[in-house]
Amino acid sequence: MHIDKRLKAMIVRWFLGYDVTALERTLRKLGLRPGDSLMVHASWLPNNGFRGKPLDFINALKTTLGPHGLLAMTSLTYQNESSRRFLERGEAMNVRRSPSQMGLLTEVFRRGRDTRRSLSPTHPILAAGEKAEAFLEGHEHCPVPFGAHSPFDRLRDWGGKILTVDAPFSTITYTHYVEDRIAESLPFSLYEPDAMRGIVIDYDGRSLDVPVKVLSDQANRLRREGRLVAELDKAGLIRRTRVGNTRLMLIDARAMADHVDAWVASGGGFFDAP
């Protein structure tokens, strides 16, 4: 087993390695442009082939987006549990200190000198760029953290894009924003009836008590994500490529939301009937 791991690492290094220049070239070919607003979901795999550190990868993303671009990532402080379970524990989201549990790349990004973080207790967003403050503003005032007036809403309004790096479609939090847009059409409640409370420690050290609506157990049971992916693929809205041993996927946020709106209005959907 140890020999197999070493052999795999050697093969990746010799045949599937890539540097910053190759990454930036691939990102441009995939469809990223200077000035874009980009939300990234990434898994930093040991044999991804990248000849550099996570910070080098982040800087390549920033270079591709240029001085007027926006780079964003999710930075949830919990994993392998629901928002409800996290809120029930009563643990505070400290905007300065709580580590991101969304992968190594997000934690390195969080620690960047120019990175800001939103004040949502359950779905804090990291952002860097000249539009970062405007992108994150008021997240703590959104009862639905991925709903109207949230950074996810702005991602669509600003014509933003979503990039996955060796991460499955299920990591894309923006899907919940799309669900929120069609909530009234569902034959069940997308959210639990009563809001919960979350605690946020802001940049000034103040404790904020933030109301949060959480997805209902029924919605989580009835969601059929594979059906959504198939529909987006059918519409040609998912672009995929590889660089070295890294898989990339890019989606236009506005096109995704608008297509699902029209699909559901015509009788389609990706939730089973209750």
Q: Strand 37-42 relative to strand 70-74: parallel, antiparallel, unpaired?
A: parallel
Q: Mean pLDDT of successive 10-residue segments in the chain (274 residues)?
A: 65 80 98 98 93 97 98 96 96 98 97 98 98 98 97 98 98 98 97 97 98 97 98 98 97 98 98 96
H helix and E strand count, the chain: 11, 10
For residue 2, tell me if it sits in a domain: no
For residue 43, tell me if it sits in a domain: yes
Q: Do 225 and 149 meet the contact criterion of CB atoms below 8 Å apart?
A: no
Domain count within the chain: 1
For residue 5, tell me if it sits in a domain: no
For residue 44, tell me if it sits in a domain: yes
**pLDDT for residue 220:** 96
Q: Is 237 left (phi over 0), alpha (psi -120 to 50) or beta?
A: alpha
3-state DSSP helix/strand/coil % of the chain, to nearest 5: 40, 20, 40
Q: Do 146 and 174 meet the contact criterion of CB atoms below 8 Å apart?
A: yes
For residue 256, tell me if it sits in a domain: yes
Q: Strand 125-128 relative to strand 196-201: parallel, antiparallel, unpaired?
A: unpaired
Q: Sheet with 207-212: list strands edge to edge.
A: 93-94, 196-201, 207-212
Q: Which two tokens stand for residue 158?
A: 């600003």
Cβ atoms < 10 Å from Cβ of 170: 12
Amino acid at 74: T
Could you tell me the pTM of the whole model?
A: 0.95
Instruction: List the domain range (segments joined by +) for residue 233.
Output: 18-265
For residue 85, tell me if it sits in a domain: yes
For residue 215, tell me if it sits in a domain: yes
